Structures are given as structure tokens and as C-alpha cells.
Structure 1
């Protein structure tokens, strides 16, 4: 969902500013599409934007599905979906009603370039994360040749073009075992980026000027980069969950900028011990809060990566005894999934404790909400570094060196500092500057809208038919 949402929002922005385009979204699936997935695509403005779910990839016992990383599962799903994709592209290209001018794929899907080439389609990558991570990935094959040890064992931080130096230990978990098949697949996938005609990235110049300037420098094998962000959802998916309306009603009764929103995205999970510490930390901070709670998982920080339907029906037995009763006057706990856009855009919300997923980060930037950075998996540690040390719109708690646990005392201290301390005032001011910059980038003469127009013009040049709409 973290990739699908910005992709379809990009499609909506394209057709809004360039109404001579139609878009067809082709989505590989692992089993039946989730309720959230179906709701997201069914809300698209057909027929201008329509969608196709490819036949689901069914993993049998021989695949050892439960033991594979999310990246490996995605790779298998893409590979096994190639024949179905070819059938759909053949149908689109053969249609008398469409003129296919570009094939835009998620960056996990570079294998599909070969299929696109069969139909003489121009391929582009859509990169839903930020320019810093993109710069790192493009640099990774070179780094892989230069370094012999594990990245986490490097004594000096790695100098990524245009970005803050990053310690190897802060690379995503995918890159922490260079002998693994997942790592090798990732490097091979990144090498295929050079086959794209261009890379569309969900960021904007004022947020990441250093990385974007570095990416704009011409190099052999490096496609041009198109920053067209921030792309965020216009609103949360519809829900009949009573807790959602209760949540917004509760917010209406709170003072301006007084509530900390705590949520770890569609995939993030905490251990039982960490949930316990977070609960006590919020209580000790004496600050107002809304906490979107998921069932703890001691095995993985991304235990719900492939599912956003982890509803525990408001059973919070895993929370500390008496916590809900003691905090009911200034805190609200809701189950699994919340109306994030509506909460972040609400005047009572004054802070966001986040896993630093890029969708959540951009939503906080658009609405000017300062952050507490709490990364869990994927590229989130790099995002947290950029947000806290480069853009400086986030505070970051310090985990224990031994077990990595963030203690209740540390949580209480950072929460209180963000909401009413001097450091909090500083990050709040800087976030307001970023909010204004994001708004300016999306004006008719803003940098991102100009870049989108440049991209659209390039695609129109690919149009050879003189009838119908482009697709």
C-alpha cells in the first residue's frame, strides 16, 4: 500500500493538470487484494483512470512463503506476473481506443522493462521514496564494488552524492547481509534502473536540494530525474469504524497544537516490551495524544507489511494494566488503522511520532506537523537521519545500546521537548518553512508542476496516432 497510494495519486495529479491523458494502473497481487487496496483503486475517477488486478500469485508449500523477506516475496510476485502483464499490455497496445505513450513502473518492477520492450514502449521508473534514498541506490552498485566487508562494519560513514554521510549500520536491513540472495537481487535490480528513460521521484527541490542537484548531473547510464512531489493522499480511505469519527470528535475538543499523533504506518509493528515502554512514556509525558495501536510482534518490525487489516477489534489486553483508565482524560487509543490525513490536517495536532515512512513524512510536511522520528525498517533509518540532521524538522529518541529498546524515560523526555520545549519550537518553525515550500512547489508555476508538464510534453511527443486520448 505504501507504493500503491503515491502511484495512484501521481496518476490523479497527471490527469488533473493534463486532461488529454488516460491512465491504466496494472497491479500484481499476492492472493486476493486487501479491502484497503480495493477501496483505493475503486475510488479512482473512471474511465480517466482505471485499474487492472493481475491474477493473484499463489505461493505453495515448496515456496516456504513464511520464511521469505518482503522483498523476496515481491520479487517472486513480479517475476511470476510477467506473462499476465504481457497479455494486458498486448491488449492495450492493440486497442483502437488507446495510444500507449509511456510505461511507468514501481522501482521494484524493473524486470517488466523486458516486457515493455517487446511492445516498443518507453519505460519510466516511479520512485515513491525520497531523493536521498534514490541517490543511495544509484550509488550502491559502485559501493558494492569498492567495499569488501559488511556495510555495518565500516568505520567511516558513506558519502552519498548530494546527501549527508550515512553510517553503514543505518542502511536498510536488506543491505546488512551482502551474502544473501535478497541483497544480490536488489543490486541487480538497481543496475536495471539505467534502462529507464527517466525516474519520477516523490520529492521537491526545497526539501532535498542537495540530493536532487546531484541526481540532475549527467552521468553515463543515469536516467534524468523528475521531482514531482509532494504527492500525498487527499484523504484517508473511507471506514465505517466508529473509532474514526470518535477520534475526530475528540480532536475537535482539544486545544490548538496540543495533541501528539502516534502511528507507525501500514506495515510497522513494535515488540511487546517496546509497546509497554511507549505506553508508560506517553503517560509520563503528561501530553495529550492519539495512539494508533497494533498488536505487538516480537519477531519483526514489519509484521504487517502485506496487510493493513490487522484489526484487533479494540482488544488492548497487551497494554499496561490500568493505562487506558489513567490516560482517558488526555489520551485516545484506536485500533490498527486511523484517519491519518484528517488527524495531521487538524488544528489540534501539534506533533507526529512516526516510523518515518516517506508517505507519512510528506503528509506531515504538507500539513506542517513537526516530528519525532522512530524508524523501524526499510529505508526509514536513512529518512530519520535526513529529517533530524539535515532538514531538522524532527527530534529523535535514543535507544539503549544493548537491546535497542527506547525507554519510557527517554520517550517522555522527547515527547515533552517536542510539544513544549525549546528544541520543539525550533523544529516547529522549520517545519512551517517546509510546509510553505511544499505549497509553492505545487503552484501552477511551482517547480514540481513545471517538472510534471515537462514529463507530460515528453510523453506527448511519443504519440503517433492523431485520434483519441493518450494513455
Structure 2
């Protein structure tokens, strides 16, 4: 009897544990790691992060992130589905969903094992992870979604069933934009790809089903902050679902971390004048065609600005050719760049294949502009470092993000796309100049500098996002003690 009581006392004094389940979308992993880090170090919880892999072995991007996770956070890469489980042409969303669903029994088993050792405080999933709802119900713990994109996208997501029932015809043919409370109007050409598809297609119906499932959670954490998206407060009117802005949660490792400071690009940046370098990256998953990659290279050369370019091997048929990451050593050649480009830009530009220490680069004083695909992580990292952007959206909600950053927030300039969906070298150079030297660029620099200060305050001890996350953590602790 004494040993049993001792075990119970140990459970009662142990830190309540949050179990986080992240789908294989690489853009979700970084904010999930940062959320786990803050729950552990700022709010007195323990954390186990499960990553549902889509590839075997896990990608080099996963390995790079995992190598920096503090020892206090347990990270587990769940096994990927068999390669033949879906046809090669299956959409990324279906592959991500399969990676999660195939691991639900394993998630349940691990959750029960953890609950036997320490109180479970909550199960937190991303938008793909809602099939794990029954795991939370079985264990009697709160079930939350961590939405790693902006509130505007979450608002569209929550309103989609209503929009779907009200609209006739295809969304892509609509002449009137979608208007959400406090958000920039969303025009047809800016819709996420899943809404651009035929409404009878599995791509669209699957997306609509996910939107309906989102209402089955106990609350939503959104990776944004009040000063960036004040609509997150206004937009909750009429929604029964509690929504909590807890961002910006990005990769916050200091640049002194060895893997960053020792990277070749950092010593190169140290030699460049302050604010003189254009950083170009399309995130962990974005890819361009051979022709567009070559045109971008020529545009960088034409701009006559210093640049650092994290480039991926082109993909002719997909803008998300590296959506689930790349294998270590997969890309070893720059044969897709224009002949003589590397030689002509030696000393002016630095080209790196695939992975780059983006947070360290954006935090370097020599960076003056960021050419970005407008993935939400990249936008938040740019804002937190006070870097104005050239917006070059590729997929998912990135066109919406670009519109918001240019029209509503005022920290970006959109590169103009031709009728053939191609961006010419002259426009590449022009967009960079608009940010680097024009009056327009001066306005974006002032605005992004203000937002940088506000983002830092949101995460400070007395900041809005810290306050919100403290309330949620305390709610979870109380629930676990019962």
C-alpha cells in the first residue's frame, strides 16, 4: 500500500505533459517546436512532440530542426506510410493526412503510456491532425488545434462551410471577393489551391471536410499576434470556437548556435555592408520551373544588388516539389543555373543548395530585403527581424498572405506576374529596387520596424501572446489535476 501511495504522489508532483501531434508539413514543425519550448520553459509543462513523417528516412529539414530541440522536449518521428500506399500523383494534403491517420493507433498507445506515468494536460494537433480527436476523448483531455498559418486563413477555413452553401458555381470563377471581418478582401485568384479546384473534386471536398472537422476542437491557438492581425479579436464574433493568438512562434535560436554561425554564408555576410544584401528563399517546400529559376537568376544579376540565394533544384510540374523536405545530399549540382551565372556573380552573390540557416541570415545586419514565397513562418521571421519583403507566392494560402502583407500590413511589395504566370527578369530587378531604394521601400522599412518592436513585446513577459498562452497553460494544468 505504501509503494502505491508513493507512485501516486510522484504522479501528482510530476509536471503535467502536453502531447503535440504535427503532420509532415515542414512549415508546421518549426512553430510546433517553439510552442513546445515555451510550454516547457515558460509555463511549467512537459512536452512530447510527435512528427508524422511522410518520407523514410525523415528529410534533412526535419533532421536540422530536430538537432536543435532542447533535451527537455521529447521529439519522436513516427514511421512513414508504405511508399505504395498512395499513387505518386496524390496531392500533398492526402499524403499528409495518410501520414497522420496511419499513425493514430500508435499515437493512442503512446498517449496511454505517457498518461500512466504523468498527468496528460492536453493533446494539440495541426489542421491535418483532427482525426486524433478520439485519442483525446478516450483519455479525457482537452483537444486543441495549433493553426500555424495566419488568422485570415483560419477565418476563411472556419467560414468555408457557410461560403460553400451560399455560393453557386466554382470559387475560381467568382467575380465578388470573399469578405471576412477585419481582413483584406480575398479575390478568386488569391484563394488556396484547394478552393481553386473543382468543387466536385476530392481536393476540394477533402479541404471542406477538414474545415468542418476544425469546429470539433476545444480551442484553436493561432500563430499570430494582435498588432499584426487585429481582426483575430473582431473576427471571433459569431464563432462558438475559442480562438487564441499566441504568436509569433518562430525558430528563435540565437545566431550564436554553432550550426548557424559556422555556416559558410555567415562569414560571407559579415563582409557585406549593412542593409546591402537581398536574401532569396522559397521555404522548405517551394520550387520553381527550370525557366523561372533561370529568369530569377538573371533578374538578381540585373538588379546589381548583393544577394544570398537558398536555391532548390527546379521542378517542372509542381510549386511544392520539396513540400515534405529533401533527402540529405539529394541536390549536389547547380547545372540548372544560366551558363556563366556563378562566375559573373562571384563576390556579389552566394548560392546555397537547399537548406540554409534562415533565422540567422534574416537576423544579420547586412540583410536589407527578403524575396519570399510568403510562407507564414518566413513572413513572421522577416517581421521579427525588421526586414521588408518582395512577395513571390507559390502555393497554399501564400497569395492571401502576400495580399495581406502588401495591402493591409504594408511590409511587402508584390512581384508582378505576367499573363503567362511568369515573372520576367526585369520585374525581379524592379521589385528588388522598389524595396531597397525607392520611397515605397522606405515606407515598408518603417512599418516593418514598428511591427518588429510590437512582435517582441507580444512575446515579452507582459505581452498579449504570453498572457494568452499563460491562461491556456493554467487551464490545462487545472484540467490535468482533476
Q: Name the Cα RMSD after superposition.
A: 1.9
Residue 206 of structure 2: which of 185, 189, 211 is its match?
A: 185
- 1:295 paired to 2:313: yes
Q: Residues 259 and 209 of structure 1: is their aligned pair in 2 closer, same or farther, counting only changes over 3 Å?
A: same
Q: Which residue of 2 aligns with 1:235?
A: 253
1:168-317 equivalences in 2 (<5 Å): 168-177=188-197, 178-210=199-231, 212-219=232-239, 222-235=240-253, 245-309=263-327, 311=329, 314-317=332-335
- 1:76 paired to 2:101: no
- 1:13 paired to 2:38: yes
Give the Cα–Cα distance (whole angstroms) in 1 for the partners of residues 245 and 259 of structure 2: 36
So what's the TM-score if we normalise by structure 1?
A: 0.92
Give the Cα–Cα distance (whole angstroms) in 2 for the partners of residues 40 and 399 of structure 1: 33
Kept in 2, the 8 Å contact 1:294–1:312? The answer is no
By how many angstroms is 1:4 displaced? 1.1
Give SS of 1:26's match. Answer: strand
Give the Cα–Cα distance (whole angstroms) in 2 for the partners of residues 437 and 13 of structure 1: 19
Q: Residues 181 and 106 of structure 1: is their aligned pair in 2 closer, same or farther, counting only changes over 3 Å?
A: same
Deviations, residues 227-272 of structure 1 (Å, cap 9, x unaligned):
1111111239989799x73211111111111100000000000011
Residue 68 of structure 2: which of 32, 37, 43 is its match?
A: 43
Q: Residues 463 and 384 of structure 1: is their aligned pair in 2 closer, same or farther, counting only changes over 3 Å?
A: same
Give SS of 1:351's match. Answer: strand
Deviations, residues 68-125 of structure 1 (Å, cap 9, x unaligned):
00001111222221211121122122x1x30012111111111110222122121000
1:43-442 equivalences in 2 (<5 Å): 43-46=68-71, 48-60=72-84, 63-93=85-115, 95=116, 97-177=117-197, 178-210=199-231, 212-219=232-239, 222-235=240-253, 245-309=263-327, 311=329, 314-401=332-419, 403-442=420-459
Give SS of 1:25's match. Answer: strand
By how many angstroms is 1:450 displaced? 0.5
Kept in 2, the 8 Å contact 1:311–1:336? The answer is no
Give SS of 1:66's match. Answer: coil
Give SS of 1:192's match. Answer: helix
Q: Structure 1: which 4+ aligned runs deviate by more than 3 Å?
A: 235-242, 308-314
By how many angstroms is 1:148 displaced? 1.8
Kept in 2, the 8 Å contact 1:236–1:340? The answer is no
Kept in 1, the 8 Å contact 2:313–2:331? The answer is no
Residue 455 of structure 1: which of 442, 451, 472 is its match?
A: 472
So what's the TM-score if we normalise by structure 2?
A: 0.90
Give SS of 1:107's match. Answer: coil
Deviations, residues 282-314 of structure 1 (Å, cap 9, x unaligned):
111111111111111111000011123375655
Unmatched 5+ stretches in structure 2: 1-25
By how many angstroms is 1:42 displaced? 4.8
By how many angstroms is 1:36 displaced? 3.2
Q: Matched residue pairs, number? A: 454
Kept in 1, the 8 Å contact 2:285–2:320? The answer is yes
Give the Cα–Cα distance (whole angstroms) in 1 for the partners of residues 295 and 254 of structure 2: 29
Q: Residues 91 and 245 of structure 1: is their aligned pair in 2 closer, same or farther, counting only changes over 3 Å?
A: closer
Larger deviation, residues 84-93 vs 351-360: 84-93
By how many angstroms is 1:189 displaced? 1.5
Q: Residues 171 and 360 of structure 1: is their aligned pair in 2 closer, same or farther, counting only changes over 3 Å?
A: same
By how many angstroms is 1:374 displaced? 0.3
Give SS of 1:333's match. Answer: strand
Q: Residues 23 and 240 of structure 1: is their aligned pair in 2 closer, same or farther, counting only changes over 3 Å?
A: closer
Give the Cα–Cα distance (whole angstroms) in 2 for the partners of residues 342 and 100 of structure 1: 35
Kept in 2, the 8 Å contact 1:293–1:336? The answer is yes
